Structure 1
Amino acid sequence: MPPKPPRPDLTHLSNQHKDRLIDALFARLDAVEARLGMNSQNSSKPPSSDGLAKKTRSLRGTSDKKAGAQDGHKGTTLKRVAEPTDTIHHPLPSQCNRCHRPLPLDEALVVERRQVIDVPARSFDVVEHCTLEVACSCGHVHVGAFSAGVSDVVQYGPNVKALGVHLTQGQMLSFARTAELLHDIYGLSVSPGTLVAWVGEARAALQDTDNQIADNLHVAALVNADESGLRVAGKLHWLHNAANETLTWYGVHAKRGMAAIEAHGILPKRTGVLVHDCWAPYWKLDESIHALCNAHLLREIVYVKEITGQASPDAMTNLLLDANKLCEAALKKQTPFSVDDVAAFRTLYDAIVNDGEQLNREAVKTAGRQGNPPKLADFNNFSDSLPCAVFGLASAVSRDFHDVDRSFQR
């Protein structure tokens, strides 16, 4: 740690210098309190940074609707299948309960049907493959050959391999727990090492598909980007993802910032819309049109509200939520917004941002002081990029960007 600067001798300071010192100390105190007040509910900090004392707070307001399904809601239930796997006819008595005469059971009719859906109780199937040999009358011997997928004396089939890859990569189970699950349900003793090998086989088989997804996202009109920490061999790595409405790409890298973004090659030199959480490295992608994720932006507004108590954060929250509702209604009805409608929302948006900036002027750095100047609230992020909901209103004007609107609901 760097050595602490020596404390000033107050006896030799003028009243003017003392006032400046007190103002600087209060500014530093405000900055420290602001940072301590940040958590995953009011900023872009991850939930893991909250520690054990996590607080759950929803951005959803109160509603006058009753709990549960609303009137007119179409419920869902189990439906009959046309061709059941098996049929059980529950027996009738052999004779009449009243006159005791034999019943004509061959004339019985089905009066009611009920179906029970369940999973099979068997462990696993074993299919034996055999090659044949036959000799011609001329003496030439013909021997059959196994198919390409049958290479070992005993091996696992494609279905159990696919299940193992799905459980580890799709359902995010650890290799050890996946091996345990396969043994508990099917009685198969699959080692974690075998599962790792199956994932390697799947990766090689899907490499062309992976490349195609990455290429399509690189030129897509809109892409959502994010990253999350995870452990690889006990060390912190980052799971990066890029996605739109139909495609999702994941990549693991030891770095979180531009080194990983450039190595993956999807986001650099994109000219479309990039939706992100306002994390600094994304802003370095100058070719993209930036749009902030509303979920993260709303949390940032909560933070501004908590430390300032001003009205501008509430006004911005209401605007974004209302704009999002209007986008959903427009998509549902397939009714484009007019240019005037979008302009009205943009005017209101700019007015709220202007109010916030007027109340929270960026502090001027004091000469000779190290570090950035403290500031209570920063509305610059709101004006740097048109938020997703408002952008959704604008894109609704042109149906060429219909997939942009739906992607904002992610």
Structure 2
Amino acid sequence: MAQLQLAFAALLARVQDLEAQLAQTSKTSSQPPSQDKPWLPKSERQKSGCSSGGQRGHPGKTLKMSEHPDEIRTLPVTGQCGCGEPWDTVAVHDLLARQVHDLPEVRLHVTEYQVEVKICPRCAHREQAAFPADVPGQVQYGPRVHALTTYLNVVHAVPLERTADVVDALCGARPSGGTIMLNLYLASKRLEGFEEQLKVALINQNVLHADETGSKLGGKMQWLHSVSNAEFTLYGQHSNRGYAAIEKMGVLDRFEGVVVHDAWNTYFQLPGQHALCNAHLLRELRYLHEHLKQSWAGELRTELQGVYHQRKTGTLTQTQKEAFYERFDALLIQGLNANPASPPVPGRRWKPKQTKGRNLALRCQQHRGAVLLFLERDDVPFDNNQAERDIRMFCIKRKISGGFRSVAGGEAFCRIRSYVSTLRKQGMNVWQGLVSVFRGDILMPNFSR
């Protein structure tokens, strides 16, 4: 009977563990939304009572009449009036206008450079003019074609073959996959100076966001890392998820400000301060409350949401903040009591596995200052959504193309993507920036922000 009871307890624990795994979604854990079941709700937003669509006072984006049209076509009144008066003899009383905004016909513009060759009649010396420096071969594509292939492949994650399809359909020319990759390598080489200035600018910031996600290189697991804020973005690819990748990027290991992250253990080795993502914490608390029926987690989640909204609206007083701190500590003690420590397993050297609830409560106790730093500093956000947004586009690329074929390809993508993301954050034109890279007069962002 004792053996049966032990076996039953082990099976019951196994069933509970499997049920807990099935209950995990993007709303209750760090699982990405792409792995959620299709019938699960996708948002926690509550009904506001307003009708769907743009609300009153919302600035519209309706297509507007241009004050300077490129072409004007006047359509005359023809025929005659009902009384017999010919319309072509009547003066124009008014003009009514309608406009059509369309793309011009796209075709390659071919420029041929012809250099003069002269032979001296006295000494028969042959001399010729020099071709432009950006025309090294007999036939090549220009900077706009290079920029278009780079824009499609890096900015919008269009694979090489489909990039060639798009250029062929629009321009009537089909660059090879090798040509497109050479464009990426050339852009990456020319952006080395940009990346160095970007790293210096990031090190001088007060708050940075960090995150990482899995990547594939030749079918093997790699990691793409991001370091960013609202003005700058730096990407890097490395075979290591840990500190070696951080050292190679050369920012966070020299950064002394606040790093916002999702409690990955490697980040706690950094020299700066730490702020933990409370969006992750809210999801974990929701899982404990809704699926494991732990009331302390639901209360802590409600308290945390309430103090966040008070801080966001500027209504949080010092008395309310101190009361929240006391409530926070008391709820964590309740969490530890509801999740007692697992006893050591005889014959095993390593520590026994603890429950999710206990691990979460211990983490919040150990890193209390990092969890609640958003209440002490106005420049520290509540969550790590900035890093999540910056890394999301790479996740889309990974789904489309699967990964990179070479280390050089991954590094080129990261450097170009860092440039594009930084330009976009500062309100600069990405297309003009890419064209400037291939023209050799790179449009630089403002690094003094």
Query: Do Structure 1 and Structure 2 share a fold, with TM-score over 0.5?
Result: yes
Cα displacement (A) at 1:22:
6.6
Q: What SS is found at the alignment partner of 2:222?
A: strand
Q: Which residue of 1 aligns with 2:215?
A: 230
Q: Are 2:53 and 1:40 aligned?
A: no
Match of 2:129 in 1: 144
**Separation in structure 1 between the aligned mates of residue 200 and residue 271 of structure 2, nearest angstrom:** 17
Does the aligned pair in 2 maintain the 1:345–1:390 contact within 8 Å? no
Distance 1:135 1:94, change over 3 A: farther
Equivalent residue of 1:353, what SS? helix
Q: Does the CA-based 8 Å contact 1:293-1:387 persist in structure 2?
A: no
Q: Which residue of 2 aligns with 1:333?
A: none
CA RMSD of aligned residues (A): 3.5
Q: Deviations over 1:150-199 (max 9, x none)?
A: 22221111111111112111112211221111112222211111110000
**Which residue identity is paired with 1:295?**
A
Shift of 1:383: 3.3
| 1:375 aligned residue (344, 350, 355) | 355
Is the counterpart of residue 355 in structure 1 residue 337 in structure 2? no
Measured at CA, do residues 307 and 179 of structure 1 come closer, stay the same or move farther in structure 2, by a change above 3 Å?
same
Secondary structure in structure 2 of the residue aligned to 1:87: coil
CA deviation after TM superposition for structure 1 residue 277, in Å: 1.9
Task: Note the C-alpha offset of 1:138.
Answer: 8.1
Hey, what does 1:79 align to over in structure 2?
64
The structure-2 alpha-carbon separation of the partners of 1:70 and 1:355, relative to structure 1 and needing over 3 Å to count, comes to farther
2:157 maps to 1:178: no
Whether 2:299 is the aligned partner of 1:312: answer: no
Residues 1:391 and 2:354 aligned together? no
Matches within 5 A, 1:16-31: 30-31=16-17
Change beyond 3 A, Cα 1:119–1:97: same
Q: What whole-Å deviation, never above 9, does each CA across 1:77-112 have from its counterpart, x for those lacking one? A: 12233322222222222654533245357x536533
CA displacement at 1:246 relative to structure 2: 0.5
Gaps of 5+ in 2: 387-449
Q: Evaluate the alpha carbon distance shift between residue 262 and residue 185 of structure 1 in structure 2; reply closer, same or farther with a 3 A threshold.
A: same
Whole-angstrom distance in 2 between the partners of 1:186 and 1:35: 51
Equivalent position of 2:205 in the other structure: 220
SS at structure 1 position matched to 2:256: coil
In the alignment, what sits opposite 2:45? 60
Partner of 1:270: 255
Indicate if the aligned counterparts of 2:252 and 2:270 stay in contact, CA closer than 8 A: no
Q: 2:194 aligns with which of 206, 209, 212?
A: 209
CA contact (8 A) 2:275 2:371 kept: no
CA distance in 1 between counterparts of 2:75 and 2:320 reads: 66
Q: Deviations over 1:34-53 (max 9, x none)?
A: 345434332123456x4877
Deviation of 1:20 after TM superposition, in Å, equals 7.6
Cα distance 1:22–1:141, how it changes in 2: closer, same or farther (>3 A)? closer
Are 1:115 and 2:99 matched, yes or no?
yes
Alpha-carbon distance change, 70 to 314 in structure 1, aligned in 2, over 3 angstroms: farther
Query: Does 2:277 align with 1:293?
Result: yes
* Deviates most, 187-196 or 371-380: 371-380
Number of residues of Structure 1 aligned to a counterpart in Structure 2 = 382
Higher relative contact order (CA 8 A, sep 6+): 2
Structure 1 residue identity aligned to 2:105: A
Measure, in 1, the Cα distance between the counterparts of 2:234 and 2:128: 47
Structure with max Cα Rg: 1
Letter in 1 for 2:141: Y
Decide whether aligned partners of structure 1 residues 58 and 185 sit closer, same or farther in structure 2, where only a CA change above 3 A counts.
Answer: same
SS at match of 2:289: helix
Whether contact under 8 Å (2:276, 2:371) holds in the other structure is no
Quote the Cα distance in structure 2 between the aligned partners of 1:386 and 1:59.
26
Instruction: State the 1:302 CA deviation.
Output: 2.1
Task: Tell me, in whole angstroms, the C-alpha distance in 2 between the residues paired with 1:350 and 1:246.
Answer: 36
Distance change in 2, residues 1:235/1:146 (3 Å): same
- Tell me the amino acid that sits aligned with residue 38 of structure 1: Q
- Counterparts of 1:81 and 1:58 in 2: how far apart (Å)? 39
Distance 1:353 1:339, change over 3 A: same
2: distance between equivalents of 1:85 and 1:345?
62
Q: Is the 8 A contact 1:291 1:386 kept in 2?
A: no
Corresponding residue number in structure 1 for 2:113: 129
How has the CA–CA distance of structure 1 residues 373 and 69 changed in structure 2, closer, same or farther, with 3 Å as cutoff?
same
How many Å apart are 1:281 and its aligned residue? 2.5
Greater shift in the superposed pair: 243-252 or 66-75? 66-75
* Separation in 1, partners of 2:356, 2:225: 31
- Once residues 135 and 104 of structure 1 are traced to their aligned partners in structure 2, the CA distance between those partners, rounded to angstroms, is 67
- Cα distance change, pair 101–184 in 1 and its aligned pair in 2 (3 A): closer
SS in 2 for 1:395: coil
- Shift of the 407–312 alpha-carbon distance from structure 1 to 2, 3 Å rule, reads closer
TM-score, normalization: structure 1?
A: 0.79
The alpha-carbon deviation at position 372 of structure 1 amounts to 2.0
CA distance in 2 between counterparts of 1:188 and 1:246 reads: 37
- Structure 2 distance, partners of 1:338, 1:306, is 31
Name the residue aligned to 1:6.
none
- Specify whether residues 408 and 237 from structure 1 end up closer, same or farther in structure 2 by C-alpha distance, changes over 3 A only: closer
Corresponding residue of 1:4: none
Instruction: Spell out, residue by residue over 1:119-156, the C-alpha distance to the aligned partner (whole angstroms, 9 max, x if none).
Output: 22232211222223568998987743222112222111
Deviation at 1:361, TM superposition (A): 3.3
Structure 1: unaligned runs, 5 residues or longer: 1-9, 331-335
Give 1:375 shift: 2.0
Deviates more, 1:319-328 or 1:162-171: 319-328
